[in-house]
Amino acid sequence: MVHIVIKMTRPSKRPKTGVYEFRKREEKVNLGTRDPAEAKVAHARVWAEVEARWSQLSKGSISLTFKQAVGMVGETYREFVNANGDWPAKASPHMRMFAKEKIGHSEISFVGG
pLDDT in tens, the chain (113 residues): 665 555 567 788 888 888 888 877 677 888 889 999 999 999 999 889 888 888 877 887 777 788 887 887 887 778 777 777 766 556 667 666 666 666 655 554 545 44
CB-hemisphere CA count at 13 Å for 43? 20
Q: What is the pLDDT of residue 34?
A: 92
Q: What is the pLDDT of residue 113?
A: 45
Per DSSP, the residues of 73-92 read HHHHHHHHHHHHTT-GGGS-
CA distance 84 to 91: 6
Furthest CA-CA distance within the chain: 69
pTM beyond 0.75: no
Q: What is the pLDDT of residues 76-88, one digit of tens each?
A: 778 777 777 766 5
Q: Is 28 helix (H, G, I), strand (E, B) or coil?
A: strand
What 3-state DSSP class applies to 66? helix
Q: What is the pLDDT of residue 110?
A: 47
Residues 40/43/44/45 CA torsion (nearest 10 deg) = 130
For position 78, what pLDDT does the model report?
Answer: 80
pLDDT at residue 109 in the model:
53
Q: How far apart are CA 71 and CA 92, in angstroms?
A: 24
